[in-house]
Chain A
Amino acid sequence: MSQEAPVLDLRGASFGYGDRPVVSGADLRIRRGEIVAVVGPNGSGKSTLVKGVLGLNQLVAGSVRLFGIPSEDFHDRARVGYVPQRHTLSSSVRATAEEIVATGRLPRLGWFGRLRAIDRQIVARALEVVGLGDRATTEVGTLSGGQQRRVLIARALAGAPDVLIMDEPTAGVDAASQHVLADVLHRLVERDVTMVIVIHELGALASLLTRTISVDGGRIVFDGTPERFERERHLVHHDHDSHHHDDEMPTDIARVPRGPLDEPEVP
């Protein structure tokens, strides 16, 4: 039996804008089921790295393969769920949480496909998984910052992705909401979702991780277990402009509620 191709496979990859590399020589292989944090100070290039994987900036050098397919030939982008860094979902036109999450289903429907009953059920279940099942028809501008992040996660889940890439899901979210967010991500871990989480400080998400990657000055300077990162972080991580929240607490996984999409617990 052949070994499953890595979800992401970067070899000497450099990403940037207008041929100017911001991230250089990235070597990285992420396999199914891994929960990877990409940490680093502001401006280190961590967001550029994941946006490069998503095809949102230019691959200046090296290669990127997604699910074993070179990125230039990879067209099934719905397999990669993306949760962008957005501080608010308020816009000049009002929309409900359900309407926003439904857009996550569109990549699975082609050019002219309409949302069918099954798609609407998937949208409803995605909202339930992030704990917003009772807010489907709420206008997103009236939701809290943490709830809006969860709407974005639900939007990504609605596309039934094989990997979820999140850019700073906890930035600008108060400590209480960070814990609710951590609960949601714990539930996704239980559902065997591969995750790459760009994050400034691990905080409430620390207990989720299987691997930590540190980016500084446009290069990957650490790649290892979260425990080793904690031991060695003073060697690899510059705290010159980082911040963290003193009131962040680890989350008790045993308390995480199970969602309706989850498999029933085996006694």
Chain B
Amino acid sequence: MTEILSIDFMQRALIASLLVGAVAPMVGIFVVQRRMSLIGDGMGHVALAGVAVGLVTSQSPVLTALIAAVIAAIAIELLRARGRTTGDMALAIIFYGGIAAGVVIISKAPDGTPANLVRYLFGSILTTQRSDLYVFAALAAVILVTVWVLRPRLFAVANDEEYARAVGLPVLPLNLVLAVLTATTVVVSMRVVGLLLISALMIVPNATAQLFVGSFGSGLRWAMVIGLACAVGGVMVSYPLNTPSGGTIVLVAIGIFILASLGTSIAAWLRRGGHSMSEPHEPAVGSGFRPGVVPGVECDPDSPVPASAERPVASTGSPNPPPPSTKGVAP
């Protein structure tokens, strides 16, 4: 352990993984909420074209990747806002155009070897430069602060865009901010996770957290904790195994997801077992309704109809189901 921490490139890779592990799920939760889970994947494709341009022109590939990804993010969001991307064809053209341009341009670069290409696509602990770290830290700080400040509004727009527009929230600017945050996250992650795998670190920790949380706030916090564990754990494991860091991080994330799935399934099964022995099922609401008397709940006919009397649409196996209550709608 101390041996790993004393190695220069491992120190840089671990710092980069800390930054990635925190910000990728933080941005990812809004992407998941908007049901655009693969958008980060597409931006990774476009960022490759930026990397290629950087290598050919001897510019910083991080900077050129950031410019390419941000331009693509804004273009995609504007196309989506104009209702032109429902068939996904415009997205496909941008994404595949990006990766095709990346592969072709990188082949003309002095150090555009296949091995170099693979490092950008799938991540490598060897590639994080000290200068990269400063840029990544600054970008990660911008992402953290922006998401923290705009979090309630990003949540509102991702949750119900039509409502947000109706009540005058700045929907398009907020969506553009989220798109640029996603593009920036892709670039921060390109060294350690790789451009083809970054989407996984935005999505999988959130998918894991959603298995057991009951609120947006706790979902966001848990996703960040899981993201950090995956990123740091993946980098640590990739060194002794001599494996690409990006693939290792994603496999660790998926492993945690599978374990959490099993754990929550077993917990739900145990709860159902206990429930069926102790409580009979309620009769269906909707038949024989009388004001003041709701099937399944005893109440005084003169008291208000209890809100809790309505049956849930579906049980999602929440770990904290609301307790049955006979409390009325007014004191």
Contacts and interface: CB of A to CB of B under 8 A. Distances in A.
Contact of A257 (B217, B313, B314, B328): B328
A143 B155 contact: no
B210 A93 contact: yes
A144 B282 CA distance: 14
Nearest to B29: A93
Nearest to B30: A93
A146 B312 CA distance: 9
Interface in B272-308: 285-286, 289, 291-292, 294, 304-305, 307-308
A48 interface: no
A142 B159 contact: no
Nearest to A102: B152
A22 interface: no
A177 B163 CA distance: 23
Given A142-B322, A180-B307, A94 B219 contact: yes
A100 B163 CA distance: 11
B263 interface: no
Contact of A84 (B160, B308, B322): B160
B168 A107 contact: yes
A99 B291 contact: no
B111 interface: no
Given A93-B210, A94-B213, A143 B312 contact: yes
Given A93-B29, A252-B291, A259-B330, A131 B307 contact: yes
Contact of B307 (A103, A112, A134): A134
Interface string A234-248: 000000000000010
Nearest to A147: B310
Given A135-B322, A252-B291, A260-B330, A82 B219 contact: no
Contact of B210 (A80, A94, A147, A249): A94
A115 interface: yes
B156 A106 contact: yes
Interface in B187-228: 206, 210, 213-217, 219
A257 B305 CA distance: 8
Interface stretch (A28-36, A70-78, A191-199, A206-214): A70-78
Given A138-B322, A180-B307, A92 B331 contact: no
Interface in A34-75: 54-56, 75
A132 B219 CA distance: 22
B116 to A, nearest CB: 36
Contacts of A27: none
Interface residues of B, number: 57
Given A55-B165, A76-B168, A93-B210, A175 B289 contact: yes
A228 B266 CA distance: 60
Interface string A94-137: 11100110111011000110110000000000001011111101
Contacts of B152: 102-103, 106, 114-115
Nearest to B153: A106
A2 interface: no
A127 to B, nearest CB: 10
Specify the main secondary structure of chain B where it touches its partner: loop
Contacts of B307: 131-135, 147, 150, 180
B210 A82 contact: no
Contacts of A86: 160
Interface string A153-184: 00100010000000000000011110110011
B313 A144 contact: yes
Contacts of B305: 131, 179-180, 183, 257
B170 interface: yes
A115 B322 CA distance: 25
B243 interface: no
A141 B213 CA distance: 12
Contact of A96 (B29, B150, B216, B330): B216
B118 interface: no
A7 to B, nearest CB: 15
A33 B132 CA distance: 62
Nearest to B174: A111
A103 B329 contact: no
Contact of A92 (B33, B150, B160, B289): B33
A148 to B, nearest CB: 7
Contacts of A251: 291
Contacts of B7: none
Contact of A107 (B167, B285, B316): B167
A176 B310 contact: yes
A145 interface: yes
A125 B99 CA distance: 52
A129 B315 CA distance: 25
Interface of B: 29, 32-33, 35, 149-150, 152-153, 155-156, 158-160, 162-170, 206, 210, 213-217, 219, 285-286, 289, 291-292, 294, 304-305, 307-316, 318, 321-322, 325, 327-331
13 contacts: A54-B166, A55-B165, A92-B35, A96-B216, A131-B307, A133-B307, A135-B308, A142-B314, A142-B322, A144-B311, A146-B310, A176-B285, A183-B304
7 smallest A-B Cβ distances: which pairs?
Answer: A77-B168, A131-B329, A257-B304, A144-B310, A103-B156, A131-B307, A257-B330
Interface of A: 54-56, 75-78, 80-82, 84, 86, 88, 90-96, 99-100, 102-104, 106-107, 111-112, 114-115, 128, 130-135, 137-139, 141-148, 150, 155, 159, 174-177, 179-180, 183-184, 247, 249, 251-252, 255, 257-260
